Amino acid sequence: MSTPIAGPRSIGILGAGRVGTAVARQSLKAGYPVKIATAKPAHEISMLVDIVTPGARAVEAVEAATADLVVIAVPLHKYRSLDPSLLAGRSVIDVMNYWAPIDGQIDEFEADPRTSSEIIQAFLPEARLVKSLNHIGYHELEEDGKQVGAADRRALALAGDHDEAKAMVTAYLDRLGYDPVDAGPLSAGRAFQPGTEIFSGSHTANQLQAVLAAALAPSGH
């Protein structure tokens, strides 16, 4: 496209656990208006949201899904509680991980050769899903962000099959304080799932590009 894609103007977060609230706080710090929703009615989480993510608004899921960029931060085993119709046509970040040693084995993911994000994309067929923010600890997300141009600025990978959504996520990650690195299609998210070098470490953009290239090379499997 000849004109750059504008970054998101608002962030909606589905999930108010440690990851969701850390993403909310970092988004607020970056100047974004943030709406948070859970499976509970908004009035039941409003006090929690006020205390844990001051400045964010507790809303119903249907309203959170109207944000320019929606972050899915529910426990992976609860992904079927999401309403695919709410996310149709929406740009969405999947921050969830399938991490059996920590969260326990889930047969559905064990038996499927696809990445967890590819499975989520199939469940949300009309969402423009981008995998990112899954390979940085929720505490690190709030500590490691740096200004553009910092020599040791940490990089974060993203993967997806929708160019416009990836462009929006790229702008968002940059504003959060990280160098975005496009890993390629959604299936490339395999390179930064749990158990990988990228998942376990911190990398600059150049380092991350090199690790991705090695991990995604035909002989790298």
pLDDT tens by residue, 69-93:
999 999 999 999 999 999 999 999 9
Mean residue pLDDT of the chain comes to 95
In a domain, 3, yes or no: no
CA distances from 54 to 68, 178, 213 (A): 20, 23, 40
Please give the structure tokens belonging to residue 102. Answer: 């920590």
DSSP-assigned beta bridge partners for residue 128: 91
Cβ-based neighbours of 214, under 8 Å, separated by 6 or more? 220
Count up the domains in the chain and report the number. Answer: 1
In a domain, 1, yes or no: no
Amino acid 60: pLDDT: 98
- The domain in which residue 91 lies consists of 11-220
Domain containing residue 108: CATH number: 3.40.50.720
Task: Judge if pTM exceeds 0.85.
Answer: yes
Contact between 211 and 193 under an 8 Å Cβ cutoff? The reply is no
* The pLDDT of residue 2 is above 50: no
pLDDT (average), residues 183-205:
97
Amino acid 71: pLDDT: 98
Q: Report which of 208, 214, 147, 207 is spatially closest to residue 178, judged by C-alpha positions.
A: 147
Work out the percent of the chain whose per-residue pLDDT is above 70: 96
